[in-house]
Structure 1
Amino acid sequence: MNPIFGALLPIFAVIGVGWALRRSGLMPAEQWPAISRLAYVGLSPALLFSVISRADFAAMTVAPAVLAAALGFVAMGVLVVALKPLIPADGPAFTSIFQGAVRWNGLVILALATLSFGLDGEVLVSLIMVVTIPIVNVMAVTVLTVWGNSDKKPDAKAVLWRIVSNPLILGCVAGGVANVFGWFQSGPVADVLALMGRAALPLILLAVGAALDFSALNARRHLLAISVTMKLVVAPLVFGALAWSFGVRGEALAIVVLVGASPGAASAYVLAQQLGGDRRLTAGDVTASTLFSMITLPLAVWIATQLG
């Protein structure tokens, strides 16, 4: 069995359990936002801190892979904007296509990389997250400001605060500082954070499943097809080509391709709701890209491993 596909099975099984819990009413829909916020704000930063604070960076070469991933997101953003005249969509719908092409579900990819590549994969994805989260957020907010259907336009200070206060970035930065100074490598604090971190990914995956909206798949299917194709087909090719050109090979190349081939994130829906995007199209994109990524992720990584 393809190791990526083998790692995907438990991940998508947990996502399916989240969907079943919401649909069955065992966990009512109104409780899921609080669960998702707990995992995102409270537990995920602890996970990232624990991983980065104890990583052995002296034994790793991560800069080319992180740079390739960062440029990959920029390249996808430029490509989608360049193609705008050819996309039959109004402004709000275009912002949803843009977010679908550039946003990624870092925590799902973190879980997948951890199961498939161990600690090195976990560390590399964590570093890619801290570098690319600001880039992706600035691009998405800019596009929504220009083409979104909303009178609420964020100023530069609001965008900057949104980035610097991001819990995932704070967890990574704090972990980096602890790594440099040798703080919390062991002992009660390290144990508490590690225990909290182990709870993050299961809750995130359950919340992803609970957020799936199959009814949204009927919204503007031709635009949904464009968005999903850009994310699951074009993006991994772009990311892989950039990583290859920077000399990235082996597992690092596969991880960069994984990042490019990631399904969309629910945060895109929140931003579309706030700044006048097409919320229904965004919900459909997150659902469709999550479902189809079970096929495209193993294929993309298999191609990367054959080349690298």
Structure 2
Amino acid sequence: MLIIFYSLLPIIFITALGYALERTNIISKDQWSGIERLAYYLLFPAILFRSIAIADFAHMPTFSMGFALLCSISFMIALILALRPFLEKRFAITGPRYTSIFQGAVRWNGFLALAMADSLIGTEGVALLAIAMVVMIPVLNVSSILVLSRYGDSQEAPTPRKVARDLYTNPFNISIAAGVVFNLLSIPIPAPAMTTLTMLGGAALPVGVICVGASLDLKSLRRPGPALTSGTFIRLLISPLVAAGFAALFGIEGNALIAILIACSVPSASNSFLLARLMGGDAKLMAEILTLQTLAAMVTIPLALVLLG
């Protein structure tokens, strides 16, 4: 319990720091935009490439764990897509707000998950989470880009050509594909390059979370609406149950089961906010979902690990 709690506290502190920096006008709005683009195009791709390129998948339940995770996230994607007409009709959820609900419900904070796995399982936990990253991140990035292209409030119509361009020019997809190639072909990464990637990746999480805090309106959390609550609790309550079910179906137990539960119960990815901001989603709602999820996860993650693991 305490390890999980301590893993989440830094995220809360850094979010609060971003909120304070924005309210004091130390950083202007134009400068915030530059910081967001730096994280989106450089910092997060660096940590994704490095994590996947050096992962050792040979002596782990790679395929069974991968299939369980793929089934889990596919089920969650189908569920949120099926809920869209209901959310629009019952609660008047617009397209951009729906994209934030979608990202909040299906995406995951892989960097927080890696830190928790390292604390709870050790080196094996980091390797197991690397499997989750290879399986989940491409699928969730592609689905999020497609949903944002279709329902986001962008100036360009969501034509097939635009969707395809969003996919093949997305820096996350490019870095993941490059990492897989380096891993499969055992291409060595020179020490200076590895050090550079490590330094860039180390800045990704705090910079991304600071940007989330800078966009936050804490007053909105006092009167949560259906968009905020659904985007928060579908992720934290339903996703771990679905993951546990598929893990049981594929006979996964022990540390691999704990890794799956961590991957499917942590809050949504902090770069969801950056993606929403750059692709016409509701970035403000996304920031609120991320913050509420982080606060609620201090209760839901320990429960998921104790009851399901």
TM over 0.5: yes
What is the rounded CA distance, in whole Å, between the counterparts of 1:182 and 1:146 in structure 2? 38
Could you list the per-position Cα deviations for residues 195-218 of structure 1 after superposition, in whole angstroms to 9, with x for gaps in the alignment?
Answer: 332333333333333343323336
Structure 2 residues not aligned, in runs of 5+:
none
> Are the equivalent residues in 2 in contact too, given 1:102–1:136 (CA < 8 A)?
yes
What is the TM-score when the length of structure 2 is the normalising length? 0.80
Q: Secondary structure at the match of 2:187?
A: coil
- Percent identical among aligned pairs is 37
What is the rounded CA distance, in whole Å, between the counterparts of 1:163 and 1:118 in structure 2? 34
Residue 300 of structure 1 is matched in structure 2 by 304
Q: Secondary structure at the match of 1:25?
A: coil
1:58 matched to 2:62? The reply is no
What is the rounded CA distance, in whole Å, between the counterparts of 2:99 and 2:234 in structure 1? 13
Distance 1:169-1:110 versus aligned 2 partners, 3 A rule: farther
Residue 89 of structure 1 is matched in structure 2 by 91
1:212 matched to 2:180? The reply is no
Residue 167 of structure 1 is matched in structure 2 by 171
Give the C-alpha shift of residue 233 in structure 1.
0.8
Could you list the per-position Cα deviations for residues 209-261 of structure 1 after superposition, in whole angstroms to 9, with x for gaps in the alignment?
Answer: 33433233366623422332211111111122212221222232222222222
Letter in 2 for 1:42: L
- Paired residue total: 305
Question: Which residue among 233, 236, 239 is the counterpart of 1:235?
Answer: 239
Give the C-alpha shift of residue 299 in structure 1.
2.4
Q: Secondary structure at the match of 2:58?
A: helix
Please show how residues 1-308 of structure 1 align to structure 2 within 5 Å. 1-84=1-84, 87=87, 88-92=90-94, 93-140=97-144, 152-217=156-221, 221-265=225-269, 268=272, 281-305=285-309
Give the C-alpha shift of residue 75 in structure 1.
0.9
Distance 1:123-1:29 versus aligned 2 partners, 3 A rule: farther
What is the rounded CA distance, in whole Å, between the counterparts of 2:50 and 2:161 in structure 1? 30
Structure 1 residues not aligned, in runs of 5+:
none
Letter in 2 for 1:132: M
> Are the equivalent residues in 1 in contact too, given 2:14–2:209 (CA < 8 A)?
yes
Of stretches 72-81 and 22-31 in structure 1, the one that deviates more from structure 2 is 22-31
Distance 1:276-1:178 versus aligned 2 partners, 3 A rule: closer
What is the rounded CA distance, in whole Å, between the counterparts of 2:286 and 2:13 in structure 1? 23
Give the C-alpha shift of residue 42 in structure 1.
1.4
